[in-house]
Amino acid sequence: MSGKIYGVGVGPGDPDLITLKALKVLKKADLIVYPAPEVGTSLARSIAAKHFPTGTKELVIKTPMVSERFPAFEVYDKASAKISKAVRDGKIVAVLCEGDPFFYGSFMYLFSRLKNECSIEVIPGVSSLTACSASLESPLASRNDILIILPAPLDNSELEEKIKTADSIAIIKIGRHFNRIKELLKRHGLIQNARYIERATMQTQKIIDIEKVDAKSTPYFSMILIHSREKAWL
List residues near a second copy by CB under 8 A. Answer: 7, 9, 11-12, 14-21, 23-24, 68, 71, 100-105, 108-109, 111-112, 115, 120, 122-127, 129-131, 133-135, 137-151, 153-154, 161-162, 165-166, 201, 231-233
The answer to whether 150 and 159 have CB atoms below 8 angstroms apart is yes
53-69 core/surface letters (b: 16 or more CB in 10 A; e: else): eeeeeeeebebeeeeee
Min. distance of Cβ 2 from a second copy in angstroms? 19
For residues 109 and 178, which CB has a smaller minimum distance to a second copy in the complex? 109
The least distance separating a second copy from the CB of residue 85, rounded to whole angstroms, comes to 22
Smallest gap from residue 135 Cβ to a second copy (A): 8
Identify which of residues 16 and 57 has a Cβ nearer to a second copy in the complex.
16
Q: With respect to a second copy, which residue has the nearer C-beta, 86 or 232? A: 232
In the complex with a second copy, which residue's Cβ is closer, 60 or 134?
Answer: 134
Q: How far is the CB of 165 from a second copy (least distance, A)?
A: 5
Whole-angstrom distance, CA of residue 122 vs CA of residue 107:
10
Contact 93, 86 (CB under 8 A): yes
Using alpha carbons, select from 90, 70, 87 the residue that is nearest to residue 33.
Answer: 87
Identify the CA nearest to 124 among candidates 195, 20, 47, 46: 20
Closest to 94 (Cα-Cα) out of 1, 11, 9, 15: 9
Nearer residue to a second copy within complex by CB, 89 or 112: 112
CA distance 175 to 187: 20
- In whole angstroms, the minimum distance from the beta carbon of 43 to a second copy comes to 17
